[in-house]
Amino acid sequence: MARVHEHVSANETKALPVKQAALGIISHLRRMADPVRARGVQQYFKHEIAALGITTPVLRAFVCERARELRQPWQAPQALELCDRLLREPEMEIRGAGILVLGEFRKQLTPDLLDRAERWFRQRLDNWALVDGFCGEVLSPLLERFPEVGHRLLSWSRAESLWLRRAALVTLVPFARRGLRLDTGYRLAREHFADPEDLMHKATGWLLREAGKTDMPRLKRFLLRHGPAIPRTTLRYAIERFPICERVDMLKATRNSSTTKTK
């Protein structure tokens, strides 16, 4: 029975229904597991995760090969179903493979995906690595093609779910890096100064840092204007590309005055 899940040829893959393709991917990735490396992955997460210990380059290479076999016979609905099936598995790499396969069909995706994506963020995308991967592979390209997706990001930014809030910011990172959608980026950044989650402080700082790549003076003005309200983690991320002496000055200039007086 185990032989059914062995790696199959391109011609065989074309005949596979989604369920069989998913089983093949799951079986193959589990055989690639590296228990020693899997234990090391845990250090990057505060809560316990299930990992196989497969490196990102190896995972990407495997998915790229498999996606080439699937792209011609399949369309977006099959890719969505495959992603949905793989996201049900506990291991990060298997869920990551689902995201990567779906990303290979990004040009066929439409905003209709957003309702399903929201359910995934609430139920299956439950750590920063999976959330960030989904944003980069799927949501940012979708926003590139359909600007109206930005309205959903505004809604997600105020969601109770940590992962929806993070997705709202991380989806904008590639745009901020190119000097695009900066007004939205700064607006959402301001919304999260009081966010209780450290992962949001880091995401906000990441977004601000990228926004500064094409307009450093604007970033500096923004940080000086809101400095005392900005979490220090966010601020440190945001000023990473400033010269060292300027970083020191910014940390001093944005320090909360009441905190300074009590020291």
pLDDT of residue 73: 86
As a whole number, the mean pLDDT across the chain is: 92
Pick from 197, 244, 196, 224: nearest CA to 208: 224
Task: Please give, one letter per residue, the 3-state secondary structure of the chain.
Answer: CHHHHCCCCHHHHHHCCHHHHHHHHHHHHHHCCCHHHHHHHHHHCCCCCECCCCCHHHHHHHHHHHHHHHHCCCCHHHHHHHHHHHCCCCEHHHHHHHHHHHHHCHHHCCCCHHHHHHHHHHHCCCCHHHHHHHHHHHHHHHHHHCCCHHHHHHHHCCCCCHHHHHHHHHCCHHHHHCCCCHHHHHHHHHHCCCCCCHHHHHHHHHHHHHHCCCCHHHHHHHHHHHHHHCCHHHHHHHCCCCCHHHHHHHHHHCCCHHHHHHC
Pick from 151, 147, 63, 57: nearest CA to 105: 63
pLDDT of residue 255: 86
pLDDT band at residue 22, thresholds of 50, 70 and 90? very high
pLDDT band at residue 6, thresholds of 50, 70 and 90? very low
**Paired tokens of 93:** 């790499």
Q: How far apart are CA 191 and CA 251, in angstroms?
A: 21
CB neighbours of 85 closer than 8 A, spacing ≥ 6? 18, 19, 22, 98
Q: What is the mean pLDDT of residues 49-56?
A: 96
Q: How far apart are CA 88 and CA 245, in angstroms?
A: 48
Q: How far apart are CA 118 and CA 83, in angstroms?
A: 14
Q: How far apart are CA 155 and CA 227, in angstroms?
A: 25
Q: What is the mean pLDDT of residues 112-137?
A: 98
Q: Is the dihedral of CA 154, 156, 158, 164 positive or negative?
A: negative
Pick from 203, 225, 121, 207: nearest CA to 163: 121
Q: How far apart are CA 177 and CA 129, in angstroms?
A: 20
The answer to whether the beta carbons of residues 83 and 99 sit under 8 Å apart is: yes
State the pTM of this model.
0.90
pLDDT tens profile 195-242: 999 999 999 999 999 999 999 999 999 999 999 999 999 999 999 999
pLDDT band at residue 4, thresholds of 50, 70 and 90? very low
pLDDT of residue 262: 32
pLDDT of residue 257: 54
